[in-house]
Structure 1
Amino acid sequence: MQTALRTALLTLLLATAAVHAAPSVPKAGPADQEWKLGKALPHPADNAATPARVALGKALFFDPRLSGNGTVSCASCHHPGLGWSDGQKKSIGINGQRLDRAAPTIVNVAFNTQFMWDGRARSLEDQATGPLASPQEMSTDFQHMKLMLASLEGYRTMFAAAYPGEAVSERTVAKALAAFQRTVVSRDSRFDQWLGGKRGAITQQEYRGYQLFKGKANCAACHSGPNFTDNGFHNIGVAQGGHEDVGRYKLRALPSMKGAFKTPTLRDVALTAPYFRDGSAATLREVVEHYNAGGAQPAPANLSPEVRPLQLTPAEVDDLVAFMKTLTGRQKPVTVPVLPQ
């Protein structure tokens, strides 16, 4: 009995010594602060996110009655339980129509300067009406929508509180939706905590992945800054298959923009599978392996110069994936609002 006890104590002491001997993750330095997300939420001068505007926008966001047949809402493709995306390779619109692209997350859209995969919306307010107007997405009859909203006392009260003196219109609907979406913010991730001085917030493996992210893996060339996006457009070599999607080229007919799409944020990326604009990567590991191979082969002629074979080892791929999982923010419960009847 005493021998067994001594052995157990010795094992515990050795394990404790090993933990204390293991090198700790370095403290975040001044250069690392470029990744720190600001507390202020950008907004246009005429649409600050007041409580009344956010409440109205949230109700509209979850209300399927805005769609042409009353069956789909903004939340159908941007579900809070699915990282504010929909978990589909390509989203499903009104009447079960399969769309051409995956639904991007709306997490941290307040910090974006470009909107939609091809950047065709000039602002978040402009973006808000795009899915409503699309015959494939929500197919909204705007005249009917305005009459419906104005006919409900609850909505009339909410619009009057949010935008006093302004009519119930496409514009005020768009402004309210944008005001709500700007409040969908991911922050206080384990990586953020490490930036804030908590050295134990990330592991050695995750720290190695961070160094790879900035260096050998070249991720930071496009996924830069506090929101992990350059708000730019790149052809990353995703295979087109039988349908060619020219992306940004439709708006800017430059050779480099053919097949180029907006760089998505990586905040909460572990929650938003599948990945790429066509949902062709099921896991983060598949994403990293795509870049490690230099994109799908044969590579398109206008492949972004930032996409090239990386020669990452399997262990380095693991480290990089581990780092990206540290970007998941603290999740706040989201309640579906009771809609005006």
Structure 2
Amino acid sequence: MKRGAPVIAAGAAAVVLAAVAACGGGGTTLSEETGGSAAWTWTLPAHFPEPKVPADNPMSAAKVELGRFLFYDPRLSGNGQQSCGSCHLQALAFTDGRATAVGSTGEAHPRAAQHLSNVVYNATLTWANPSLVTLERQMETPLFGERPVEMGVNDANKAAVLQRLREDRGIAGYPARFAAVFAGEAEPVSWANVIKAISAFERSLISGRSRYDRWLAGQATLSDTEQRGMKLFFGEKAECFHCHGSFNFNDQIVHARSRIVETPFHNTGLYNLGGTGAYPEDNRGVFELTARAADMGAFRAPSLRNVEVTAPYMHDGSIATLAEVVATYAAGGRHIATGPHAGDGRANPYKDPLVSRIDLDAQEQADIVAFLKTLTDHDFLTDPNHADPFAQN
């Protein structure tokens, strides 16, 4: 699993792990202040930094709750058939279990729906667009995008969709909620405020109570197999930590105290069409925006939190199991022998230089998979604060 530029050295990783484990069971509670009163309280694990929140969209409990209703409301799509929650299921860490997402009109997306665990800490918000760095900007793509259609809101229906919210008299109670959250605005039910509320809800999706996190806090144990996998994961042999070594198990991190924010994207040797280095059309990574050969097949390394429940894997859902993912990285890429995608990804000329064959036997690969499963946060997957409020009622 060698990928990307080093994030921390293996020795440093061990020091960090020891220091965090020494923190015991403590956590961090932080309140954002609005108008002199506490508007929102972050309850964070001790090893999590304070999240970064835009000044023009501060957190509040009422805004998060409004965003939760909107996130799960199919009336927010053009044809009233699909909600954000249709592609982001809580039990699957807010993925959908599909290889690639399907929009409200039935159109297939070329890429997999990404999970939303700790999305507040992501420096960029899509698989391969370095320019989308806030949830508010990113939200415009699923709402209003036309290639592919996701939520299917467009110029012809956007006023009607908002009118559905203004006329709501059900359990969501949108007119009163919007008026309370966006007090003083002449028309609080607006697309700008819809986006702000959903973004606030998404920022509240903090996942930090996995067995691994509890082990760090001295509250749980890891088996011998899991500890061997952890040593490989953070060590110089498997070197998974190069792209997944942060507290959020990815390499694009932003938080309230960030000074330098790095946003690397990686070609991991999944494809090499005809030996040319090419990736399949509609899935060519950052290259689609820059047209630079070096960006062919470059995608963001996702956080591995809750990775056990987010199958299938990779940007296009083309790998079915965690065991297959680990085996692919151990091989230094993927060799596709036949078919339209035939090619030896191990020889892709644009592949990240650190993606090379790793001598991992079957037991070592199984150990890494076992460790990855300790990153599952079952409390997060069942937290009623993140659940569908319409189903709850």
TM-score (norm 1): 0.85
Partner of 2:241: helix, strand, or coil? Answer: helix
Q: Which has the higher strand share?
A: 2
| 1:168 equivalent among 189, 194, 215 | 189
Equivalent residue number for residue 61 of structure 1: 71
Q: 1:55 to 1:271 in 2, by over 3 A?
A: same
| 2:304 equivalent among 256, 259, 266 | 266
Equivalent residue number for residue 389 of structure 2: 337
TM-score (norm 2): 0.75
Task: Figure out how many residues of one structure are paired with residues of the other and give that number.
Answer: 311
Unpaired stretches in structure 1, ≥5 consecutive residues? 1-27
- Distance across 1 between alignment mates of 2:162 and 2:212: 44
| 2:198 equivalent among 157, 177, 186 | 177
Task: Give deviations 1:184-224, integer Å, cap 9, x for gaps.
Answer: 121111111121134x5211111111111122111111112
- Distance across 2 between alignment mates of 1:264 and 1:319: 21
Amino acid at match of 2:184: G
Amino acid at match of 1:322: A
Which segment drifts farther, 330-339 or 212-221?
Answer: 330-339
What is the 5 A alignment of 1:1-341? 30-32=15-17, 33=19, 37-38=47-48, 40-119=50-129, 120-135=131-146, 136-140=149-153, 141-152=157-168, 154-166=173-185, 167-198=188-219, 201-215=221-235, 216-231=237-252, 232-239=264-271, 243-244=280-281, 245-297=283-335, 298-299=344-345, 300-331=348-379, 332-334=382-384, 335-338=387-390
Partner of 1:251: helix, strand, or coil? Answer: helix
Task: Give deviations 1:37-58, integer Å, cap 9, x for gaps.
Answer: 4163331122222111011101
Q: 1:165 to 1:251 in 2, by over 3 A?
A: farther
Q: Which has the higher helix share?
A: 1
The answer to whether the 8 A contact 2:234-2:245 is kept is no
- Distance across 2 between alignment mates of 1:64 and 1:237: 38
Amino acid at match of 2:111: R
Amino acid at match of 1:243: P
Q: Percent identity?
A: 40
Give the Å deviation of 1:182. Answer: 1.0
Partner of 2:314: helix, strand, or coil? Answer: coil
Larger of the two Rg values belongs to structure: 1
The answer to whether the 8 A contact 1:76-1:86 is kept is yes
The answer to whether the 8 A contact 1:235-1:302 is kept is yes
The answer to whether the 8 A contact 2:76-2:83 is kept is yes
Q: 1:249 to 1:150 in 2, by over 3 A?
A: same
Unpaired stretches in structure 2, ≥5 consecutive residues? 1-12, 22-45, 253-263, 274-278, 336-343
Q: 1:254 to 1:224 in 2, by over 3 A?
A: farther
Task: Give deviations 1:263-318, integer Å, cap 9, x for gaps.
Answer: 10000110111100111111110100010111113232100112111110100001
